[in-house]
């Protein structure tokens, strides 16, 4: 899985296609802009004119390079729109991201299911990469106080809709993108072919082109109290459940499976039922996962000078939920996700395995 289809992602995906990696999943929610063209080998002028999704464009172009590969696209945000079952089934995740918050989420998601991910970062003529293996290294453990401050700015943004805020993005060049992407793919191939002992897991690689400096040095040791160090164990594959399953049907299946009269599904994100305008005090009854409250959606509800506050939401679902006819997808659960279920005073991890075929897994 390649997360991010910008300049670095273009180079990574081009290399994967040339090397014949047979099944690739691309995750990105951005559209092609004219400014992308001078550093992204797979984008064309017409893509920017059409405001085409980056993931769709690069999928088409790498299939032209190698028609024998299978490419899936997820137009979404890595923090909310990709199910943990996808992370669990891929060999490796290659991160081509441009902000720290997305990297933090990616690190936590990979750690939960024990999947190695390869982070790449580029700035002008410099770049670095790190292979994060849950047994050897952790992105969150390495964050400096300044980097945490930058992340908290985004997490603490008073606006409800904050997922599309650009924070900490940096200029890139096709030269550094090409170099870092090549090494990312080299390391990914080692993992795909079972040669992870030969990878640089637990170490950082740094390249600086102006003075032709190359460094390789150890990652910081993982910390015991890190929030990322939480792994799901004993995952239950439920082929009868998918994101198209209604809440009522899902709770009934969970009740029967666990012998629990009232199982609960813990939500990763709040499900919002009511918003209230600060000035007019007008109340809006809605049904939206909190991360899906985009600026465009909020502007459609109230005047732009109004600030909307969440006044009613839920963080879990049980038989008392008033809209049990909604599907799991409609309450913000992504395809092939692994949901946390509370039953018999225990926590269980249940995969929506019914989504497996639709996500391209046999």
Residue 350 has pLDDT above 90, yes or no: yes
Helix (H, G, I), strand (E, B) or coil at 18: helix
Is 268 found in the same domain as 207? no
Which one-letter DSSP state was computed for residue 19?
H
Q: Are 52 and 29 in contact (CB under 8 A)?
A: no
Closest CA to 7 of 32, 92, 126, 214: 32
Calculate mean pLDDT across residues 118-128.
93
CA angle 229, 140, 81 (to 5 degrees): 80
Residue 227 counted as domain residue: no
Tokens of 96: 């081509």
Q: What is the pLDDT of residues 126-145, one digit of tens each?
A: 999 999 998 889 999 999 88
Number of helical H runs and strand E runs in the chain: 9, 14
Residue 231 counted as domain residue: no
Is 95 found in the same domain as 13? yes
Range of the domain at 256: 236-359
Is 270 found in the same domain as 179? no
Q: What is the pLDDT of residues 143-183, one digit of tens each?
A: 988 888 877 766 654 444 444 444 445 556 789 999 999 99
Band (pLDDT 50/70/90 cuts) for residue 362 is confident
Is 280 found in the same domain as 163? no
Residue 45 has pLDDT above 60, yes or no: yes
What pLDDT shows up at residue 135?
82
Cα–Cα distances (Å) from 20 to 13, 85, 130, 138, 183, in that order, read 11, 24, 23, 29, 16
Is 241 found in the same domain as 188? no
Is 64 found in the same domain as 201? yes
Cα–Cα distances (Å) from 298 to 234, 292, 330, 347, in that order, read 40, 10, 18, 35
Q: What is the pLDDT of residues 198-212, one digit of tens each?
A: 999 989 999 999 999
Q: Are 278 and 243 in contact (CB under 8 A)?
A: no
Residue 111 counted as domain residue: yes
What is the pLDDT of the chain when averaged over all its residues? 91
| Residue where the block lists tokens 């920017």 | 48
What pLDDT shows up at residue 305?
79
Q: What is the C-alpha separation between 347 and 258, in angstroms, rounded?
A: 11
The strand pair at 93-95 and 117-123 is best described as parallel
What pLDDT shows up at residue 126?
93
What pLDDT shows up at residue 159?
45
Q: What is the pLDDT of residues 4-30, one digit of tens each?
A: 999 999 999 999 999 999 999 999 999
Q: Are 241 and 354 in contact (CB under 8 A)?
A: yes
CATH number at residue 71: 3.40.50.720
Q: What is the C-alpha separation between 60 and 14, in angstroms, rounded?
A: 11
What pLDDT shows up at residue 170?
52
| Residue where the block lists tokens 């060049």 | 173
| Residue where the block lists tokens 């460094």 | 215
Is 97 found in the same domain as 174? yes
Residue 230 counted as domain residue: no
What pLDDT shows up at residue 294?
83
Residue 226 counted as domain residue: no
The number of folded domains in the chain is: 2
Closest CA to 129 of 194, 198, 187: 187
Is 145 found in the same domain as 267? no
What pLDDT shows up at residue 164?
45
| Residue where the block lists tokens 């990297």 | 103
Band (pLDDT 50/70/90 cuts) for residue 306 is confident
């Amino acid at each position: 899985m390649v997360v991010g289809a910008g300049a670095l992602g273009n180079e990574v995906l081009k290399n994967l296609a040339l090397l014949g990696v047979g099944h690739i999943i691309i995750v990105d929610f951005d559209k092609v802009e004219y400014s992308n063209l001078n550093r992204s080998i797979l984008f064309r002028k017409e893509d920017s004119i059409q405001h085409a999704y980056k993931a769709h464009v690069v999928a088409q172009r790498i299939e032209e390079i190698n028609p024998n590969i299978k490419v899936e696209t997820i137009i979404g945000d890595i923090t909310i729109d990709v199910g943990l079952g996808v992370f669990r089934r891929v060999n490796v995740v290659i991160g081509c991201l441009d902000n720290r918050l997305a990297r933090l989420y990616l690190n936590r998601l990979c750690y939960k299911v024990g999947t190695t991910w390869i982070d790449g970062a580029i700035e002008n003529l410099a770049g670095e990469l790190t292979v994060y293996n849950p047994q050897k290294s952790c992105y969150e453990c390495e964050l400096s106080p300044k980097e945490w401050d930058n992340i908290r700015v985004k997490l603490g943004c008073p606006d409800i809709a904050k997922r599309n805020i650009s924070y900490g993005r940096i200029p890139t060049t096709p030269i550094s993108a090409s170099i870092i992407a090549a090494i990312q793919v080299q390391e990914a191939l080692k993992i795909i072919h079972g040669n992870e002992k030969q990878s640089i897991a637990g170490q950082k690689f740094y390249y600086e082109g102006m003075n032709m400096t190359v460094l390789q040095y150890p990652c910081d040791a993982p910390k015991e109290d890190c929030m990322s160090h939480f792994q799901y164990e004993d995952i239950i594959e439920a082929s009868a459940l998918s994101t198209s399953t209604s809440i009522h049907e899902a709770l009934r299946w969970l009740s029967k499976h666990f012998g629990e009269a009232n199982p609960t599904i813990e939500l990763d994100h709040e499900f919002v039922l009511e918003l209230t305008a600060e000035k007019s005090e007008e109340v809006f009854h809605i049904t939206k996962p909190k991360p899906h409250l985009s600026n465009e959606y909020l502007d459609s509800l109230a005047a732009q000078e109004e600030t909307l506050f969440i006044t009613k939401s839920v963080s879990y679902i049980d038989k008392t939920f008033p809209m049990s006819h909604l599907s799991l997808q409609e309450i913000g659960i992504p395809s092939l996700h692994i949901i946390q279920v509370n039953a018999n005073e225990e926590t269980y991890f249940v995969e929506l395995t019914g989504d497996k075929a639709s996500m391209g897994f046999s």
